[in-house]
Chains A and B, each alone.
Chain A
Amino acid sequence: MKRSLLIATILLAGLAAGLTAGLLHREPAPRAATLFATPRELPPLQLIDQDGAPLTPERFEGRWDVLFFGFTRCPDICPMTLGRLRGLARQLPERRAPRIWLVTVDPEHDTAAVLRKYVSFFDPDFSAVTGTGQSIDELARALGVAYVKVPDGDSYTMSHSAALFLIDPGGRYAGIFNTPHDWRLIARDLGRLTR
């Protein structure tokens, strides 16, 4: 009799612990994206895509867009990020998958033709952005992106933001994935945002 009481007590305690854990688990987990309370309008853009077509703000409408600032002569973080983004975009149904854009911070080298070859290697659906240094500066300023040319021997490299920038289906700057990137959380957030 005493033994069955003990077993019942243990079972009840276990049940209570399980319920508590379950309730705690329902708390919203942290998200990777920082979304702005009010999405921001983009300024007029004097940029072109990888096919040389003008990049008007309307091009960002109708879907979520993810922008990454980088350059084609970047051997590590840029291909790593584009590879990850390809994986994320492909996890989602095609109609929901965000458009992925590489905005070059090295327009001196990264012409539309160079970018076309580069981004299509990662995914034929990826797009890229180039233009004059000034026009890239304007977009960078609007998104709060910093980048700088760093001399390296008789050449140079680029130091650039590693964040991902979110444009909502209204074509407005809606948020940012800051570093360090937790790709699992980014995938979850993109899945929720594009639902």
Chain B
Amino acid sequence: MRPILWLAVLSLLAGTGACGAKPELSAKSAWVRLSPPGSASAAYLTVVNRLDVPVQLTAARAAGFGSVAIHETRIVDGQARMVHATPLLIPARGQVAFSPGGLHLMLMQPQAELTAGATVTIQLLFDGREPLSVDAVVRPVQP
């Protein structure tokens, strides 16, 4: 039993070593803004594409939320408008940053109250690619 366990650990470590190269699609700097109880919230992150071809982000899911929409706030002539941003093109060997006042994941129908410091697992769905999961930390309202 024990040697098998060690073998599993070793193969896992070997696997990690083999995957030393960065993943083709990744997400970094993910966070969720703490929002009033029961309200929709927003998540922000940066999607990195190391592939030689562009990929399309088509949808997202977030644990603890009924639905997620990929939106962009656009301010045109002083008017803030929220527009759907899917499918969102992540350029080849490029990245797209979601940030306040711009691209955001709108997290709707919260199933539980968020707390600062907790994490929300977000899954990004791409056209013809494996889904990507990322943990986003819940940040308090700006002090």
Contact = CB atoms under 8 A, between A and B. Distances in A.
Contacts of A75: 35, 39-42, 71, 104, 106-107
Contact of A86 (B82, B107, B142): B142
B40 A179 contact: no
A117 B78 CA distance: 28
A3 to B, nearest CB: 55
B75 A122 contact: no
Contacts of B21: none
Interface stretch (A7-15, A45-53, A77-85, A185-193): A77-85
Contacts of A83: 33, 141-142
B89 interface: no
Interface residues of B, number: 25
Contacts of A159: 79-82
B75 A162 contact: yes
A150 B104 CA distance: 19
Contacts of B142: 80, 83-84, 86-87
Interface of B: 33, 35-42, 71, 73, 75, 78-82, 100-101, 104, 106-107, 141-143
22 contacts: A72-B36, A74-B82, A75-B42, A75-B106, A76-B42, A76-B104, A76-B106, A77-B73, A77-B75, A79-B33, A80-B142, A117-B37, A117-B38, A122-B36, A146-B78, A146-B79, A147-B79, A150-B81, A150-B82, A160-B79, A178-B78, A179-B80
For the complex of A and B, 6 pairs with smallest distance between CB atoms: A121-B36, A83-B142, A162-B80, A75-B42, A80-B100, A159-B81
